[in-house]
Chains A and B, each alone.
Chain A
Amino acid sequence: MKDKILQNELKYENLDHVDKGIVDKVVRGGYTRRDALKLMVATGITMAAAENILYSGSVAYAATPKKGGSVRMANPIHGPDDQTDPMMFTSGIDYARGRAVLNGLVQHANDLSPQPELATSFEPNSDATEWTFKLRKGVEWHDGTKFTADDVVWSMNRHLSEDSTSVIKSVLVTVKEWKKVGSHEVKAVMHSPNSDLPTLLGMFQNKVIKDGTKGDWIGTGPFTMESFQPGVKSVHKRNENYWREGANLDACEITAITDPVARVNALIAGDIQIMSNVDPKSFRQVESASDRVTLLSTPAALQLGICILKNTKPGESDDFVKGMQYIQDRKRVVKRILKGKGSLGNDTPISASHGADWCSELPQREFDPDKAKFHFKKSGYSGADLFVAPVTAGIEDTCLLAQANCAKIGFKLNLKKVPNDGYWGAVWMKEPLNVVTWNQRPTANSQLALQFGPGGNWNDTFWNNDRMGELLSLSLAETDPAKRHAHFCEMQTLVHEGSGMVIPAFSNINDGIANNVMNMPTVPLGQCGAMEWPEFIWLA
């Protein structure tokens, strides 16, 4: 009895370092909560005590950030095309630098809700045709000048102009223009209502830059840009004049190590503290060095997709598409290729990570060679060419698996291996069968509109469905949760049944961090917590 009481008083602070290690791992996402509870109960403590430890562990972490230190972070890609203009950001290293040096109007929390950043509040008018943003006062640019509404109007309107080269120009088509209302108030005038506007403003490219500039690394963010060498590295110092509490780190360096094996080695050897993008083939190596580093795996809707163009042969045959969908051994893809760090795909781009808008009641499509054989036969095709590039980890192996399973039912799937180099311009949306990946978008609506909006720029299976277009607008205006969910379910069913998209699986976002890096964000929109880390992490 006494034993039990003592156990209930066990707290994180009283643990030895091994047990602390287990708790640390849960708190930071290394183990699932359930695994950790099992582990601790196995060592002889009660479930209640284990729960207690976990709770006090999270509190201990959340409560005691330490100031100081510096971090080096390595991405998978960089080069002379590293950008200085947020409007042109396309790669993780740009996003990380943007997050360190700049601020947006709005930022994403881990649950993807839009949080105020440079905007202190945002309100639509009654029919959502205008959004008013109140701006934070007393914010200064790194060069000492004051942040005002002019900066916001300049930054936001750059995406919209006729000759704009903005990467997200077509994401923002619903916005007509941004207008200054007062010195610290702006409004967005809409072409059509969009209740998701604040969430879209959290995107990497929507950072606020100084009036009249093209970025040039003068920002309002938690870090200043000390030196910027494209394709080499950037060096950042803490902005002591930051408008929020400010970064915990004194400095950080953002670079890339393009070779995936070298990147893992650098992490384990301690040359870098944050590593973006761990390949599934390296999971074991990272996990076996758990005394030094942790593998962070965040569930996300990072899709491994096969696009079958619906406007040409063979994809115009619905049976052909069905055959390709039934031949995917989805469970094996998740278990063997993604090493368990992923989730089943159901041939729609929406996953459980999209929250309430995911249609969980849509039946999971299973691996069924007999049905695949039946549909292939009905389609009249006995073979096809699939263009494969390593656009995301696991996609090539997924296609190889499909090829092997096709061979078993007498269907000849030829894999045409092509390099990543030039892929998006030369192969994707051009060859009748190709592979694709998309990072998760902040809302289910933007995700569906992106790939399946009729006539959209990135409708990568060329599937145009009028009902889909209607539902996309209806769901944006719908405020009743049940009706909204019904709209989303109908859209996912349409895509699942009719489009040319095969999505066997979603990959988690897998990054590596040194064990002393604390409070790493887990926003599922991109690697390293969608690069929200610079302001928030600290070193233990």
Chain B
Amino acid sequence: MMKQMVMQRIAIGFATLAVVSVIVFVMTSWLPGDVASIILGQAATPETLAALRAQLGTDQPLIYQYIGWLGNMATGDLGISKAGGATISSLIESRIGNTMMMAGLVALISIPISIALGLWAAMHPGTWLDRMVTFGTLSTISVPEFLIATILVLILAVNLQWLPSTTYLTGEETLGQLLKAIAMPLFTLVIVVSAQMIRMTRAGILNVMNSPYIEMAILKGVPRKRIILRHAFFNAIGPIVNVIALNLAYLVSGVVIVETIFSYPGLAKLMIDAVQTRDLPLVQACAMIFCGVYVVLIILADVASILSNPRLRQPK
């Protein structure tokens, strides 16, 4: 049953990748200008444009370019960046580690904190503690992340000079140095993603708390702590893991603003740069990674919901 569901999801995942690749390819080519005119920029002349297009193969019709890309992809060759001439695998290789490390560390810190704080707030609804958590999370959700990042830089880097203002990785630092170097973006992202997860945990549990079986448990005199941890939490896991999955996907693909402010070489910024230079193969490679991550995380979230809630295993 479960196996069939997972296989089905994986098949849908591949179909999604194919559709996304076509959409991204077509949309990027609709943007004004092409890779040759962007590289040459203000210095472009009709002759140099034509020469560069011929050299890069971008004078071919779009459909041929797409088929060529698909063919390469099938053999595992990501191709060469049209904009700079580096191999796409080398461009991605150096950044995918950075992105995964940051996403992993943020998840490692923020998921336990969020669930703990969410549970805590749900156990004591209406108290000053709950209000503080609610107020804090609402505030950080409403403040854009670039503002949080800039304020942190002004305080911690420029005024106090405790932490570096940009994350500068040499690849040879010790764990301590590494943590210090990435502390600022890490801190910013933990604040940004925790807020949502805390709210979702609290709301999910309070929602379950209104159901009749909880009322029954209360009437039987079960302590509130036990009700939440034993009875409510597992029923609320479905929505919580989905929010966690979406936040993780965001950490991989959507943190471009934080990457820009801290000059952290990650994948999201690479994709934006690729779009800006109309570097189709590179855009495609990034899009495939992001889409793949979404698909995998959503499958995992579904599996987790089903495992935690036996009712979902039976098709209605």
Contacts and interface: CB of A to CB of B under 8 A. Distances in A.
Interface of A: 72, 74, 79-85, 88, 90, 163-170, 229-232, 255-259, 261-262, 265-266, 268-272, 421-422, 424-426, 428, 438, 457-458
Contacts of B161: 269-270
Interface residues of B, number: 52
A83 B84 contact: yes
Contacts of A167: 40, 43, 48
Interface in B239-272: 260-263, 265, 269-270
A82 B84 contact: yes
A266 B153 CA distance: 9
Nearest to B42: A424
Contact of A266 (B55, B95, B165): B165
A381 B220 CA distance: 85
A143 B240 CA distance: 58
A457 B273 CA distance: 28
Contacts of A170: 45
A265 B37 CA distance: 33
B103 interface: no
B32 A426 contact: yes
B48 to A, nearest CB: 5
Nearest to A216: B85
Q: Most chain-B Cβ atoms within 10 A of its Cβ — which of A170, A266, A269? A: A269
Given A265-B157, A457-B46, 14 more contacts: A79-B84, A80-B86, A80-B277, A163-B54, A164-B48, A165-B55, A166-B48, A169-B48, A229-B265, A259-B263, A262-B150, A262-B262, A271-B157, A422-B278
Contacts of B261: 259, 261-262
Contacts of B274: 79-80
A262 B45 contact: no
Given A230-B91, A424-B41, A425-B37, A165 B51 contact: yes
- Closest 4 A/B residue pairs (Cβ): A426-B32, A425-B37, A81-B83, A79-B273
29 contacts: A79-B273, A80-B270, A80-B273, A80-B277, A81-B38, A81-B39, A84-B84, A165-B48, A166-B48, A167-B43, A167-B48, A168-B43, A229-B94, A230-B86, A231-B273, A257-B263, A259-B260, A261-B150, A262-B153, A262-B262, A265-B157, A268-B158, A269-B164, A270-B161, A271-B157, A421-B31, A424-B38, A425-B37, A458-B42
Interface string B268-290: 01100110111100100000000
A425 B84 CA distance: 18
B129 interface: no
A169 B45 contact: yes
B51 A163 contact: yes
A88 B40 CA distance: 8
Contact of B84 (A81, A259, A261, A424): A81
B40 A81 contact: no
B5 interface: no
Contacts of A81: 38-39, 81, 83-84, 273, 277, 279
B38 A271 contact: no
Contacts of A88: 39
B108 interface: no
Interface string B37-79: 1111111111110011011000000000000000000000000
A262 B263 contact: yes
Contacts of A231: 91, 265, 269-270, 273
Nearest to A85: B85
Q: Most chain-A Cβ atoms within 10 A of its Cβ — which of B31, B38, B165, B279? A: B165
B32 A422 contact: yes
Contacts of A458: 42
Nearest to A272: B166
B276 A232 contact: no
Nearest to B149: A262
Nearest to A83: B84
A67 B174 CA distance: 28
A164 B277 contact: no
A117 to B, nearest CB: 23
Contacts of A272: 166
B154 interface: yes
A528 B122 CA distance: 57
B85 to A, nearest CB: 7
B279 A80 contact: yes
Interface in B139-193: 150, 153-154, 157-158, 161, 164-166, 168
Nearest to A167: B43
B276 A79 contact: yes
A265 B41 contact: no
A422 B38 contact: yes
B143 to A, nearest CB: 16
B33 A422 contact: yes
A271 B42 CA distance: 32
Contacts of B43: 90, 167-168
Nearest to B282: A80
A55 B311 CA distance: 87
Q: Most chain-B Cβ atoms within 10 A of its Cβ — which of A80, A82, A268? A: A80
B81 A80 contact: yes
A424 B277 CA distance: 12
A534 B302 CA distance: 55
A258 B276 contact: no
Contact of B157 (A80, A84, A168, A269): A269
B59 to A, nearest CB: 12
Contacts of B150: 261-262
Q: Most chain-A Cβ atoms within 10 A of its Cβ — which of B150, B166, B274? A: B166
B47 A169 contact: yes
A255 B279 CA distance: 21
A167 B42 CA distance: 9
B51 A271 contact: no
Given A258-B263, A262-B260, A269-B157, A425 B33 contact: yes
B80 to A, nearest CB: 11
Contacts of A457: 45-46
Contacts of B44: 424-425
A258 B158 CA distance: 18
Nearest to B274: A80
A471 B55 CA distance: 38
Given A169-B47, A261-B150, A271-B166, A79 B277 contact: yes
A396 B54 CA distance: 36
A83 B37 CA distance: 15
A271 B273 contact: no
Interface in B85-116: 85-86, 91, 94-95
A269 B84 contact: no
